[in-house]
């Protein structure tokens, strides 16, 4: 599992995908989410604006990330 360092209280899921390098653009990130290819804390998430706080995890295509401050 990789750690994804953020500076604020939370990060939106689509922004986390861009920051991690799993999506090149916001449009691609939103498409991946709406296609059901992203899991948050073990469950498929279809909310592109979902807020992730430190301790939350998301997974896509075999890669798993944890949000940390």
Question: Average model confidence (pLDDT) for the chain?
Answer: 97
CA angle, 68 then 2 then 5, to 5°: 30
CATH superfamily entry for domain 2-68 = RNA-binding S4 domain (3.10.290.10)
Per-residue model confidence as pLDDT tens digits over 23-59: 999 999 999 999 999 999 999 999 989 999 999 999 9
Contacts of 6 (CB under 8 A, 6+ apart): 16, 19, 54, 67, 68, 69
48: how many CB neighbours lie within 10 A of its CB? 18
Residue 16 CB-half CA count within 13 A: 34
Percent of the chain with pLDDT over 90: 99
pLDDT at 67: 98
3-state secondary structure (DSSP) of residue 15: helix
pTM: 0.94
């Amino acid at each position: 599992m990789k750690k994804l360092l953020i500076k604020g209280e939370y990060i939106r899921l689509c922004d986390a995908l861009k920051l991690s390098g799993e999506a090149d653009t916001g449009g691609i990130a939103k498409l991946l989410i709406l296609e059901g290819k992203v899991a948050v804390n073990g469950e498929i998430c279809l909310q592109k604006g979902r807020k992730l706080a430190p301790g939350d995890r998301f997974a896509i295509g075999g890669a798993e990330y944890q949000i940390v401050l």
